Structure 1
Amino acid sequence: MTLSRRLLVLTAAVLLLGALAAGLVLRAASRADQPRQGGPTVAAGSLTLTQPDRLAFLNAAQGPHRGALASVPAGTPQAARTASDLTCRRFHAAAGTGVCLRSTPGALAQDNQALIVDSGLRTLRSFPLAGTPSRARVSPSGRFAAWTVFVSGESYGAAFFSTRTAILDTRDWRLDANLEEFTVLMDGREYRAADVNFWGVTFAKDDDTFYATLATAGQTHLVKGSISGRTVTTLAQNVECPSLSPDETRIAYKKRVRAGASLWREHVMDLGTLREHPLAEKRSVDDQAGWLDDSTLVYALPAEGAPDTTDLWTAPADGSGAPRLLTPAASSPTRLG
């Protein structure tokens, strides 16, 4: 075979392989926009944050409404979903105020945003995020919103990561952009270190007290904070992503159960005694759990066979019973009403 003929054959092969690759990409994209067979039914509709007895969450089912804030009746969590046109990476709401953390894949960090929305999901204000969205919470009154982003690293299990946590007052729009500027009190003394990180804020009803995770010197701590005092005080170790119960007597959190590994087990701690107990859920929960009521926790776990999707599960807060699937293909749950 002549050299020119060899080049012609090689060129034809390259063009053929390129066409096949393009076809596979287009086919995969087309499938991503189609609902998964047997998956939940999702349809566009009206959604507000003041609808009574509804469960809101981010829809993770394949199809045109993937990533949209959706809701179902709280009593039938696997019913057909009503999807809004608000899309988020993380979401939380209370008392008619919502915080939506947005992130565009492949975009620069400054393109990530926190949106504060009203009960009709209209954007009131937007704020640039310093990194990739991780956690979001709104105080019970709706006055304060908090969010955490990864400034570097993409996982709490990574060897090296940095976070930034902000708290916003939605009355006067005053933003504490970095909790690392708050005074840290540890063992009765002011503590300073270059490696301090905060994440996972949860608010009390008094519009001042909050709890969060503080990481420093290879340890994680539960801290109790004061917004007005701009202070945090350490309470206990090995506590991550706390969530305050509706009666404000307990904290649910993920506890690292193997040093150096990304393995956590969800626990509940009594704030009066600091005694803790594990939930019946024995799988590793890398989430900031929520409370459906004073006795039931809800959290996300990776969906079987779908690594980019999570399902919502529940477990009794007292450690009894067994985990139960609440709703598939969903994340960031919020009980409305």
Structure 2
Amino acid sequence: KHISEKHSHATETDCRVTLEHIDSIPESSEKTILQCLFDITHNQTFDSSTLESQLIKEDLLTSLAKKVIQSLQSCSNDMTTARNKLIKLLAEVRPLDIAETQYLVDKTIEASKLIQGQEIVLFVGPTGAGKTTTILFLSGAELVLEQYEYAPGKSVPHITAKEPLKYEAMRPLKTSPLSKSETRYIYPISIPVRDIIPGASGNITFCDAAGSGDLAGAEVDIANTVGLVNALAKCNSVKIVCLVSYVGMGSRSEGITDIAHLLSELLPDIKSRLPSISYCFTKFQPDFKLTDRLVEVRTTMNNRDVVDPAVDAILNDMIKKTRNRESLFLLNPLTDSPEDFVQELLDQEPIKYPDSAFSIAIGKETRATIQKQ
């Protein structure tokens, strides 16, 4: 149901697929599609003549597959359309991209070397919550609001960092205007605290991570959990910033309970870890009654027959920390100063011995994808 978002990085993945890799795959629909994608990327041509018979042989000729086969016959000169059609079909015949998963795990392992022995601040939350934008803001980047045209005559507002960047290390931090995950694996950025708080000493290391939730894709979810937990184990200490956006909160505030479940799975002993968690609420109006909404969510949740103790503890912690301090946690990266929130992070209690604190937490969508594989 989220194929186009899930494979938004497919062009990048196609370029990494080599003929040697394709040759190593047994005769299958996956191999045929990958060969077509390789030819499109490198030769601007493709031959899908054997694809239909291969799909029939594997009993994979679904209604979507039939539509793709028909459309490929009419777009032999339109490589972009052909590639997009093949990517959709590939997502159906191969729910989980093992090669992409391994690539992302390897990149996470590389990043773990950069945070080994460090005291880091880890940003977690669903895709589109604004983790990367918030890190840029807290790092002192000058942010501007632009209009991103995603189709002729159609645009959406998009916050982006203004050039020249304050630190070259900011360059890989890319924001997306369309609520899709640009961050595919963890990325740390370390800055001098004095650049944010005059007179302060030392550095602070912010760690961007891929978004949770089904839009990120199973490959990212697996790499982000397995690789992330292993990377965090090598840190000296970890502080958590949990992001929730206005849109992500949902009409029934289900986003709050979703992020609470994520935290409780990532940190099994969640109640003792609450002092190490801060919350950041993004894309809200400055006069939004945040604490009142959180209390409403808690009341609704407590009226149910079964209440998850971990979720209840996190929700109570949100209410406690935001009460009478809403302006601190309702961040507006265009108008606010990062100084107060960075000071809050410096004062926050860290999770020490992270090698025993974190647990692998894979989402429901990813579990379902693995079962299909």
Shorter-chain TM band: under 0.3
TM-score w.r.t. structure 1 length? 0.26
Structure with greater strand percent: 1
Using the size of structure 2 for normalisation, the TM-score is: 0.24
Point out the structure with the larger helix share: 2
Instruction: Compare relative contact order (CA 8 Å, sep 6+) and give the higher one, 1 or 2.
Output: 2
